Amino acid sequence: MDALEIHELAQTRSGGSRAAAAQWELALTRLVSTGPGDADTRSVFHASKSPSQLSRLAAMLGGGESRALRELIAYSDESAHSLSDWLDALDVLQAWLDEQHIRVTAVRAAGYVSCSSQAAPGESLPSTVKRMLEEYGFDTVTG
């Protein structure tokens, strides 16, 4: 995805605000720098609720974890929850991990959300992740 396409996509989400367009453009540039394919990037871009959510995902992916984004989208496609729900659930998980001073790979984070999704397919995914974290925590040794 080139700079012009990033700029044009950012404009579509800006609501006409230059500041919002700049935030979306920066967040999308960060996501693109993690290496995912264009189709995955577009899917996540459209599912994101805010530039900050997109930036948090890019930070979680870091360098070389574009495979995690592909897995996240595949998990979402196979679940009863939308990709937007998955991004919200990852935000809940990341906030909890930050509070606990725990760092995990994006693949492990996506796996945790996947287990939560399977445990309660008819419930709010962010709420389910929160409940699972409160009841079971996050195993930093095995998984």
Confidence of residue 34 (pLDDT cuts 50, 70, 90): confident
CB 111 within 8 A of CB 139: no
This prediction's pTM: 0.90
pLDDT at 143: 45
How does the average pLDDT of the chain come out, rounded? 92
Q: What number is the average pLDDT over the span 94-98?
A: 95
Whole-angstrom Cα distance, residue 20 to residue 124? Answer: 28
**Among residues of the chain, what percentage have pLDDT more than 70?**
95
Whole-angstrom Cα distance, residue 143 to residue 140? Answer: 6
pLDDT at 138: 92
Read out DSSP for 30-90?
Answer: HHHHT---HHHHHHHHHH-SSHHHHHHHHHHH-TT-HHHHHHHHHHHHHSSS-HHHHHHHH
Is the per-residue pLDDT at 65 higher than 70? no
pLDDT at 141: 55
CB 58 within 8 A of CB 91: no
End-to-end Cα distance, the chain: 33
pLDDT digit string (tens) for 68-81? 888 899 999 999 99
